[in-house]
Amino acid sequence: MKRSNLQIRGFSKLSKAAKITWLTEQHLSDPARGQELLASYNHADEAVQKRHDEFIENTVANYFLPLGVAPNFLINNQVYTVPMAIEESSVVAAAAKSAQFWMDRGGFHSTVISSTKIGHIHFTFTGDAAALNRLVVRIQPELFAATDSITANMRARGGGILRIDLKDRRAAMDDYFQLEVRFETRDSMGANFINSCLEEMAKVLRLEAATDAGTASGDLEVVMCILSNYTPECIVRSEVRCSLEDLDDGSDLDVYEFARKFQRAVRIAEVEPYRATTHNKGIMNGIDAVVLATGNDFRAVEAACHTYASRDGQYRSLTHCSVADGEFRFWIEIPLSLGTVGGLTKLHPMVQLALEMLGNPGAHELMGIVAASGLAQNFAALRALTTTGIQKGHMKMHLLNILNQLEATDAEKAQLTSFFADKVPHHADVVHAFCALRGIPVPAAEGVRS
Ligand code: MEV
């Protein structure tokens, strides 16, 4: 590996080929092989590849994740096949299993509770707060008017700016105020729309404050204009429910014992942050995979959900469960800011396919689907955790990954999959079984097993 000159100026200005040459020659022991590998991940259709190249800066290749589907999701009396982009082996299988289970019990009931998004002009002001308040009341029409051209299309679709409030945040930080602006962005996630509106409004605020008799004596400095990814007024709820008897899945499960233990497991995640983190991570397995497949911003969704999970000062479960009057109810309530227009939705061919697969939903419908996917995932995890343990299903799905690492042939994979059908295949067990099948010695690192 050369590593002679790892600093480079003007990298973004180089052609894609020149970037790849520099990258592979400076960083890889076998540049030719690196180049071949990167090239092999390019799309065969040059136009599609160019589009991917242009999503971000300094693209050198594509990065694949599997796109799986979880069929049989009955949500609000409609059946969906849910697209999921994720690398974790057991997630799609768990979602599909859960979906099938609830399909026979009325399915998921999803409701969008609210869809308001919030953005802020964060600013400092050293003058008279009452005068600032009067100014903000007076200039409301100008603040709206300044965004007229940006909001025209959104208003035509029933969205736009809902209200503008002055927030006095001086208790948190000296001289700190906000203009807090509420938006309805219909089927778009709305990040660019919100940020553009805020920046236009900030110009008006600055100008008016400088010339207003009441506020001109104080200094007003706009620090930044940005939407908040925390969307506690953009909330969706999804629920499953059935009688305790209907929890029977045909196995020898004691449904009363199961419901009691399941509810207790949820309660633990409601009171214990260590468990809540893992519990919610499992929920996000289901949520992120659909958010990503449908071209939405999973980092924004993650950030919002985790803030919401800690809204009372302690990090808690995003799902809840009740067992009362012979009925089992399990639900999730989360902030979800999603779009089905704009962003990647018209640009990424797989996103278009994923949305079409879902029947080209609007943002509200997609919120309901994503919430159901998170709930399904959590149901599958808790059912496994409170009955067989998680490793049985998890390692079963992971078996192929281990066999692929060992470079097993298809015939070997088939034999070993059937060998491990009724067992929990731990990594070392698989290596031992594989070596025995091939008649080769077990690598020293795997140790000796009885
Ligand atoms: C693994 O990705 C997710 C789980 O740990 C979630 C949970 O513990 O609830 C299985």
pLDDT in tens, 219-252: 999 999 999 999 999 999 999 999 999 999 998 8
Tell me, in angstroms, the distance from the centre of ligand 1 to residue 34's CA.
35
For the chain, what is the domain count?
4
Question: Alpha helix (H) ranges present in 104-147?
Answer: 129-138, 140-146
Q: Is 88 in the pocket of ligand 1 (CB under 6 A)?
A: yes
- Report the nearest-CA residue for atom 3 of ligand 1: 282
Q: How far apart are CA 79 and CA 107, in angstroms?
A: 9
Last residue of a domain, one of 227, 258, 292: 227
Which phi and psi (to 5°) does residue 54 adopt? -90, -5
Confidence of residue 322 (pLDDT cuts 50, 70, 90): very high
Tokens of 339: 């779009």
Ligand 1 atom nearest residue 279's Cα: 9
Q: Are 262 and 372 contained in the same domain? A: yes
Q: Are 350 and 268 contained in the same domain? A: yes
Q: Are 255 and 361 contained in the same domain? A: yes
Q: Is 282 in the pocket of ligand 1 (CB under 6 A)?
A: yes
Q: Are 223 and 363 contained in the same domain? A: no
Last residue of a domain, one of 387, 405, 420: 387
Residue from 281, 327, 346, 356 carrying the catalytic annotation: 281
Ligand 1 atom nearest residue 384's Cα: 10
Q: Are 128 and 198 contained in the same domain? A: yes
Look at residues 227, 351, 356, 371 and name the one whose alpha carbon lies nearest to residue 296. Answer: 351
- Other CB atoms within a 10 A radius of the CB of residue 39 amount to 12
Q: Is 390 in the pocket of ligand 1 (CB under 6 A)?
A: yes
Residue from 16, 43, 52, 88 carrying the catalytic annotation: 88
Q: Which domain holds residue 247?
A: 70-114+235-387
pLDDT tens digits, one per residue of 114-136: 999 999 999 999 999 999 999 99
Q: Are 302 and 438 contained in the same domain? A: no
Q: Are 340 and 373 contained in the same domain? A: yes
Q: How far apart are CA 409 and CA 402, in angstroms?
A: 12
Considering the entire predicted model, what is its pTM?
Answer: 0.92
Residue from 212, 297, 365, 429 carrying the catalytic annotation: 297
Q: Are 249 and 342 contained in the same domain? A: yes
pLDDT tens digits, one per residue of 151-179: 999 999 999 999 999 999 999 999 999 99
Confidence of residue 447 (pLDDT cuts 50, 70, 90): low
Q: Are 202 and 104 contained in the same domain? A: no
Q: Is 297 a catalytic residue?
A: yes
Q: Are 337 and 403 contained in the same domain? A: no
DSSP single-letter state for residue 58: S
Q: Is 397 in the pocket of ligand 1 (CB under 6 A)?
A: no
